[in-house]
Copies of this chain bind each other. A is one copy, B any other.
Amino acid sequence: MMTGAEYIESLRRLKTEVYFMGQRVESVVDHPAIRPHVNTAAVTYDLAHDPEYADLASAVSHLTGRRINRWTHIPQNQEDLVKKVKMLRVAGQITGTCFQRCVGMDALITLYSVTHDVDKKYGTDYHERFKRFLIETQDRDLMSGGAMTDPKGDRSKRPHEQHDPDLFVRVVERRSDGIVVRGAKMHQTGAVNSHQFIVLPGQSLGPEDKDYAVAFAVPADAPGVIQVFGRQVNDSRKWEGKIDQGNPTYGVVGGEALVIFDDVFVPYERVFLLGEWEFASTIVERFTAYHRQNYGGCKSGNLDVLIGATLALAEMQGTAKASHVRDKLAEMAHMVETMYGGALACSYECTKLACGTAFVNPLLANTAKLNTARYYPEVTRLAQDIAGGFVATMPSERELDNPRVGQFIRKYYQTRADVPAEDRIRLGRLVENMTGATPIIECMHGAGSPQAQKVVVQRLFDWVKRRRLAERIAGVGTEEGR
């Protein structure tokens, strides 16, 4: 297992083609817009060596028996799934932001079982290929970017119906030694600091979409892989100073890139689905179930930090004992524990898939996600409400050094005699950072919009059973008592 420092060094050896703000990025490690994301991903490496958290953040590979980072582990039982959730909450608490390594983890878990199922139906050998790939990923402790979301174009049309056939990633050539793929994947979290990408179909497909039914892995610096790092809220603050960033070490949630596959060659050894279109929906369903499980972990960890920052500000500002502030803090905590409870419940209530992998209860996993989508903005709104208007109108940290106005900033942003104004400003900036509107969007669309999730519930809930229960109780079809 690598340490965080080793991970960072390993990134320097990659020759990725990354663009940002109109220019090629020389080194993702050293670029101020990207470095905080690198730091956060590094936490996933360090936790596995941390005596306090190693039990959560590492595991024993069921394939090799070697100790590996849990972010590369295929969960074998209830305990593995529960530890996944608890690991995410801890990492969320330590970083206060997204550590980007979960999409890749869930892509690994998903393909492990789906390749098994495809082989069973078609006699293919995807599963063995995938195992070899997995062992290498585990042994080299690679960070994988899981790539699912296609540009999609006109959403009322299927992939093959789009005016531009490349709006979904597809196979454009089949060679003797491998395939050539073209297309792009949108808003890929952690992509620019991943070692490799695992590419999966992002929605269910029909027979005419066969060329879009492709899953594969490529190194992040494979020829033809081009990344464009997206803008983030207040990204320029990262190169302007430290305080205004809010979370100067770990940055703002996310760090997404557009990943372009400009006719990229993939050897068959790294192809895990090729044309078996009916398994696209299996991949999506299984991936999203595992990914929904996560939200109750990482987001509750992040919101623990936000609750702490809000409490600290309330104490500084003399409002922490007001009953409406106390009620709001309690409400925030309640919502956080609801998210977490859903993630735990779906883990404890797991089943076994055919290949032996432990599978979360998808209905309960869905509650974790839906409640996160519903409660996360509520928590941030309460945080803003308690923190107060100053969060949105604070002066630049540079004023602190200005000889004319620095003194006034320190004077008028101070609340109590014993609290330096700068501490209040730092916490205010953290709250501002964490309550920006965008995190919830960027990170959670991968697991399906609320609408998509309702469809999931409509399918998974045992409606017929409930109807029969009601009919029996109501005496439908009987003449009893008349």
Contacts and interface: CB of A to CB of B under 8 A. Distances in A.
A449 to B, nearest CB: 7
Nearest to A339: B367
A219 interface: no
A56 B348 CA distance: 17
A438 B393 CA distance: 9
Contact of A363 (B154, B337, B380, B454): B337
Interface string A456-475: 01100101011111110111
A430 interface: yes
Contact of A242 (B324, B366, B427, B481): B481
A458 B326 contact: yes
Contacts of A463: 307-308, 311, 329
A398 interface: yes
B186 A305 contact: no
Interface in A386-428: 388-399, 401-402, 404-405, 408-409, 411-417, 423, 426-427
Nearest to A369: B334
A425 to B, nearest CB: 9
A364 B437 CA distance: 28
Interface stretch (A131-139, A159-167, A270-278): A159-167
B348 A318 contact: no
Interface-central residue, A330, A405, A416, by most chain B CB under 10 Å: A330
Contact of A423 (B254, B388, B477): B477
A127 B341 CA distance: 33
Interface string A287-306: 00000000000000000111
A385 interface: yes
Contact of A391 (B312, B371, B441): B441
A249 to B, nearest CB: 7
A435 interface: yes
A308 B464 CA distance: 7
A23 interface: yes
B154 A22 contact: no
A441 B384 contact: yes
B226 A474 contact: no
A106 interface: no
Contacts of A364: 337, 340-341, 344
B391 A438 contact: yes
Contacts of A187: 389-390, 392-393
A155 interface: yes
A385 B307 CA distance: 25
A402 B24 CA distance: 9
A221 interface: no
Contact of A474 (B246, B311, B392): B246
A14 interface: no
A407 to B, nearest CB: 10
Interface in A443-458: 445-446, 449-451, 453-455, 457-458
A184 interface: yes
A411 B440 CA distance: 26
Contacts of A363: 333, 337
Contacts of A474: 246-247, 309, 426-427, 429-430
Q: Which of A233, A401, A429 has the most CB of B within 10 A?
A: A233
A9 to B, nearest CB: 22
A241 to B, nearest CB: 7
Nearest to A151: B412
A236 B389 CA distance: 21
A19 to B, nearest CB: 5
Contacts of A241: 481
Top 5 A-B pairs, shortest CB-CB distance: A22-B398, A242-B481, A308-B466, A236-B236, A308-B470
Given A304-B469, A334-B454, 17 more contacts: A21-B398, A22-B401, A96-B469, A151-B413, A154-B416, A155-B317, A164-B414, A231-B393, A242-B482, A308-B463, A333-B461, A334-B366, A341-B341, A341-B342, A377-B381, A427-B474, A430-B473
